[in-house]
Chains A and B, each alone.
Chain A
Amino acid sequence: MLLDAQTLARLQGVKLRARAVMEGVLSGLHKSPHQGQSVEFAEHKEYAPGDELRHLDWKAYGKFDKYYVKRFEHETNLRAVMVVDASASMGYRSGALSKLDVATTLAGALCYLLVRQQDAAGLALMAGGKWKDVPPRASAGHLNVLLDTLEHTTPTGATDLGSAADHLAEVLPRRSSVIVLSDLLDENQDALRRILALRQRKNDVSVFHLVDPAELTFPFDDPTLFIDMEGQGRVEVNPREIKESYLEEFNGFLASVKAACAEADVDYDLVRTDDKLDDVLLRYLSRRGRRR
C-alpha cells in the first residue's frame, strides 16, 4: 500500500511516518552489499558520541591526549549516513508536507530499513551552519537515537552543501553509503560538485533532490512579495509576467543537477513533496538492486 503525502501528514512525528513508509516497502528487498566481517584495522577516527567504547584506542589517547576510535575494514555490512539538509528553504511547503518533512521521513524510513537488516545507519544534519552528527551504528537502540534526532530537527539558516561535503569527507570512512536529502538551493555554485566529489572517495552517493510542486509550477497569480527564506532578499513581482522565464530558469537548474549527478555516477532522484514516499523508496531500492 502506497502512502500519499496527505495521509503521511496526518501522522504526527517522524517515527510514525518513517515506520509507515518503511512498512510500505517492507518487502525486504534490501540486501547488504558486503558479506562477513573483518577485523583488519583500517583507520582512526575521532571519537564522537555513539561510537563503540570498546573500539577506543587507548594507546592513541596516551600519545595525543585525544579519543580516537579504531575503524576496521568491513566492520559492518553497510555503513550509511543520511545527510539531511535542514536549512530554512527546506521548511517551504505549498502542500501538506514541507521539504524537510519529506526529507526526515525518507531518512527515518531508510534508517529503519538499514537497522532492521543489521546495517549501520547514521545521520549528518545540517542546520543553521552547524552540524549534528550521529555516527552509523547497527544496534536496535541506535534507531531511536536517529529517529529522535530527526524528530527534533527544525529548518533554519542557509544551505551550505560545500561545507557538508568537506565535513563528510573528514568523518566518513571509505566505501560508506552517503544519502543526501536536500533541495540543493545553495548559492555557492561549487557546492554540488563538492558533494559529488564524495563519490571519488569510493563512497556510494545518492541524492534525493527535494522540490515543492509550487517551485516546479510557479502557480502564483497576484502580485507577490517574494521573501528569501535564507537571507534578506525580497522582490515584488507580478508572477504571471515572469512565470515563463522562471520556469525556464528552474528547469535549467534541475537539468544541470541531473546531468552533473549522471556524470559523477551518483544516483539521483527528484522527489516532489506530494510524491508517495514509499513509492520513492521502492524506486530507490529498485535502482540499488540493479546497480548491484
Chain B
Amino acid sequence: MTFGNPWMLLGALGALIPLLVHLFDRRRPRPHPFGPLAFVMRSQKRTASRLKLKRLLLYALRTLILLAIPIALARPELTRDAAAAQVVKGPAATAIILDASLSMRWSDGTPLFERARDEARDALKDLLPEEPATVLVCTQSPAAPPPPGFDRGRLRSLVDEAKATHGAADLSRCLDLAARALEENPMPAKRLVLVSDMTATAFRLEAPPPTVKGPTGAPVKPEVVLRDAAEGHEVLNNRAIVDLKVEPALQAGPRTFQFTFTVRNFGAEPVKDLEAAVRVGESTLAKGFVDLPPGGTTQKALTVRFPQGGTVLGQVTLAPDALVEDDRRSFVLPVPRALKALVVNGSPHATRYRDEAFFVDAALTAPGSPVEVATRDAEVGLREDFSAYDLVLLLNVPAPSADEAQKLAAFVESGGGLFISMGDRVSPEAYNQRLGPVLPRPLRLVRTSAERDDPDADTKSARLAQVSVEHVLFSPFTGQAEEGLVGARFYKYMLLEADSPGAAGASQVLATYEDGAPAVAVARKGKGRVALLTSTVDRDWSDFSIRTSFLPLMQRFAAYLTGSLDEREEVRVRVGESATLRPEGARKVSSVRAPDGSEVAVKEQPEGALVAGPVTEPGVYSVLGADGKVQSDLSFAAVLEPSESDLGRVPMDTLTAYFGEETVKASTGDADKPTVPLWTWLILAACLAFFFEGTLLRK
C-alpha cells in the first residue's frame, strides 16, 4: 500500500481521543437528592447491558471516524505486486490479440471465432482517436505484429480476413509478441486486448505475465482487457478422437485390419451411444457405439477387411458435436495386395516334412497370408512364365540353364522378387556363372560347422550373431522375438564372395553367423529385389525351419521382395508440422496437395528426402508424381494436436490474478467501469460511522 500524503497519517493519532477521554475524564457528576431513586435504580439496572453495548459501539464508531478521515486524506492506494510498477493511466497504445486456434471453431450455432471477430471489431471501435493500435491474429506460428498505428481500416480488414486455424495457439507467446510491438510506440500507457475463448491449453500460466518497458525503462504491466468470446458458456462440451492405431488382424483373414481409436469426452456431461465409424469415401466399412463418462476416455476397436490391396485413404469418425474438426481422423493405409508366389522345389521328397518346400509352403499359406503359392519341381518350375507371379522362390534348385537364368534376370529387372536358398543341389560355380547378375553376392563354397549326427552338434553348429533389426525385414525381431532367430542352429551354410566395391546394385548383408559369414543378403536388381539365404529352408543344413521365427520371416521375405511390405517410414504429421517424404529410387514428386486442393510448399533435402509443409489442416495430403498422377503410397494423413480438443476454460478469476488485478480492466466487453480509489471508501465508512453514531446518540 502506498500513500499520496503520508504525513496526513499523523492525524490517525486522533483515534486515541475516545480512549483518552474515557481514561482521563474525571468530571464529577452533579449530586442531586431525588425522591423516587428506586425508579432510577431500576431503570439503570434494566438498561445496563444495552447501555454497555451502546457505549462500546459509540467508542468503535468514534474511533473509526477519527481513524478513517486522516487515512483517507493520506490518499492510500493498493498495489498488489510490489515488484511491478504502477499501471500508467491515460490514452494507451493498444494491441488486439485475436485467438485463431482450433478451439475457436467450436460452435453452438455461431462459431466462437465469429463472436471473437465481433469482439475485436468492438475493441477497435472503443479506441480513442488518439490511441494507436495493432492487431495480432494468434495462430500456431504467429508473426510479430506491426507497430501500433492509426490506420483503423487496415486493422479492421485484418480482423475481417482472419480465419480460425486447425492448430493450437500459444496465447502467452502472442501476448509477448504484442507487448514487444507496443514497446515500439512512445506513448507511456500500453494496453493488451485479448479476444479468446480462454481455453486453458492456450495459456502458459507458469510463465510470467507480459510486461512492457515503462517510461523509466523498468518493466511495467500493461493494462489487460479480457474479452471472452465464449461468455455465457461455463463449459465447452467436446469429444474427440485423440488417438488411432491401425494394426493387421491376421487371425481374421488377409487384408483385415483392426482400427483402435481412443475417444475422449472433454465435457462435463456423459455421452451415450456415440457413433464411431470407419469410412472410405462415402461408404461406411464398420460402425460401433461408445459410452463416455464426463472427462472420461474409452477405446473402440473396429475390424475392417479390405476387399483388395493397395493404399486406402479413409477416415474414422464420431457423430459430430460442436467442434466437428476433431470428430474425424484421416488415415492412409497400405493394404497388402494378393501375391502369387512360384515355389521351385529343388529337392522334392515323398515324405512331406522332408520335402524342401514343405516348410516354406506352410509358412506362406498360413491363415491371414495374402500369398497364393504354386509349387513346382525344378524342371517344370523353371519353365514357367514368371510374369504370372510376383515372387519366385528357388529352394535348393540346381543352377538353371542360361535361358532360364536370363528369364529370371528379366523377371527381377521388371520388378519381380526372387528368393534363393541353398542346399546340396546348389553348385556355387554354376550359380555364379548362370545367375551371377542376379545374385546379391557370388557364392564361394559350403562351410560345415557341425555334422548333424555329431553329438556336439548343438555346440558346434553356427548361430546367427548379428541381425539388422533396423531393416524392415527383421524389424519385428526384437526383444523376445529375437530368441527365435538367434536360437536356430546352422550346420552348413554357403560362404559368399565379398561384394565388389562400387558395383551397381550393391548387396546388403542383413544377418551374419558367429564367424561373420553372411546368413541373409539382399540386393535390388532393376525394379526387383533378390534375397539370398545361405542355408536351407528344410532341416538338411539347419533347424531354422522349425523355429518360431521361420514363419513370420518367410512372410516378410515375401512381402519385402514384392515391395508390398511397407518399407517407407510411416509419415506421422500433426497440423502445424512438416511431413518428410522419402520417394524410393528415381521417383519424382511434382507437388503435394492439401485436402482442400491447395498446393503445399515442398522443399528438397540434400539426401533426396522432401519436406512438405507445414501442413495447416487435418486430412489426407496427396502426393503427385512427375507424371501428375497421385502416388498413393506416398500420401499421408495430417492429424490434429489432441490437446487442442481440451476446451477446459481458465476461470476469469485465475486470469485476473495472473495478469494482476490492478491491470485487468474489463472481462467481457462491457463498458469500462470507473475505478474507485481506496480513500473514497474510507470517507464513505467515516460518513456511515458518523450517521450511526448520531442515530445511537439519539436513542
> A residues near B, CB below 8 A?
89-90, 92, 99, 183, 185, 187, 212, 215, 220, 222-231, 233-237, 241-242, 245-246, 248-250, 253
Contact = CB atoms under 8 A, between A and B. Distances in A.
Q: Is the interface of B mostly helix, strand, loop or mixed?
A: helix
A233 B37 contact: yes
B30 A249 contact: no
B40 interface: yes
B32 A183 contact: no
B43 A242 contact: yes
B90 interface: no
Contacts of A250: 36, 39
B41 A185 contact: no
Interface stretch (B44-52, B433-441, B519-527): B44-52
A246 B38 CA distance: 10
Contacts of B33: 92, 226-229
B99 to A, nearest CB: 66
Contacts of B44: 235, 237, 242, 245
Contacts of A235: 37, 40-41, 44
B129 interface: no
B328 to A, nearest CB: 82
A246 B27 CA distance: 24
A149 B38 CA distance: 31
A183 B31 CA distance: 22
Given A235-B40, A235-B41, A242-B40, A225 B35 contact: no
B24 interface: no
Contacts of A253: 36, 39
Contacts of A249: 39, 42-43
Interface residues of B, number: 22
Contacts of A228: 33-34, 37
Contacts of A245: 43-44, 46-47
10 contacts: A89-B36, A183-B35, A225-B31, A229-B37, A237-B44, A242-B47, A245-B47, A246-B40, A249-B39, A249-B42
A185 B36 contact: yes
B29 interface: yes
Interface of B: 27-44, 46-47, 51, 54
Nearest to B54: A241
B32 A227 contact: yes
Contacts of A233: 37, 41
A183 B28 CA distance: 30
Nearest to A89: B35
A95 to B, nearest CB: 14
B34 A92 contact: yes
Contacts of A212: 35
A224 B37 contact: no
A241 B32 contact: no
A250 B33 CA distance: 17
Given A242-B43, A245-B47, 12 more contacts: A92-B35, A215-B34, A222-B29, A225-B28, A225-B29, A227-B31, A228-B37, A229-B35, A231-B37, A237-B44, A246-B40, A249-B39
B49 to A, nearest CB: 12
B30 A246 contact: no
Contacts of B46: 245
Contacts of B32: 220, 224-227
A225 B41 CA distance: 11
B511 to A, nearest CB: 110
Contacts of A248: 43
Contacts of B35: 89-90, 92, 99, 183, 185, 212, 215, 229-230
A212 B43 CA distance: 19
A58 to B, nearest CB: 48
A168 B580 CA distance: 131
Contacts of A222: 29-30
A230 B33 CA distance: 9
Nearest to B27: A223
A19 to B, nearest CB: 28
A236 B31 CA distance: 9
